[in-house]
Structure 1
Amino acid sequence: MTAYALGNLRPPAVPHDEVLSYMERIQATLDPYGGRFLVHGAPAREVREGTWDAALVIIGFPSLDHARDWYDSDAYQELIPLRTRHMAGDILLIDGVAPGYDPAATAAALRTARP
Structure 2
Amino acid sequence: MPALVLVEVEIHNPELYEEYKKHTLATISKFGGRFVVRGAKTESLEGDWNPGRLVILEFPSVQVAKDWWNSPEYTLAKNIRYQAARSKMLVVECNGEIGVN
TM score, norm. by length of structure 1: 0.76
Distance in 2 of aligned mates of 1:71 and 1:8:
15
1:13-92 alignment, distance < 5 Å? 15=14, 17-44=15-42, 46-54=43-51, 55-92=53-90
Instruction: Report the structure, 1 or 2, having the larger strand content.
Output: 2
Distance in 2 of aligned mates of 1:88 and 1:32:
25
- Residue matched to 1:109: none
Distance in 1 of aligned mates of 2:2 and 2:77:
24
- Residue matched to 1:5: 5
Report the secondary structure of 1:52's partner residue: coil
Whether contact under 8 Å (2:44, 2:50) holds in the other structure is no
Q: Which stretches in structure 1 are left out of the alignment for 5+ residues?
A: 103-115
Distance in 1 of aligned mates of 2:82 and 2:47:
26
Distance in 2 of aligned mates of 1:5 and 1:80:
14
Computed over aligned residues only, the root mean square deviation of the Cα atoms, in angstroms, reads 1.7
Distance in 2 of aligned mates of 1:90 and 1:48:
20
TM score, norm. by length of structure 2: 0.86
Report the secondary structure of 1:28's partner residue: helix
Equivalent residue letter for 2:3:
A
Displacement after TM superposition at 1:80 (Å) = 0.7
Structure with greater Cα Rg? 1
The count of aligned residue pairs is 98
Report the identity percentage. Answer: 32
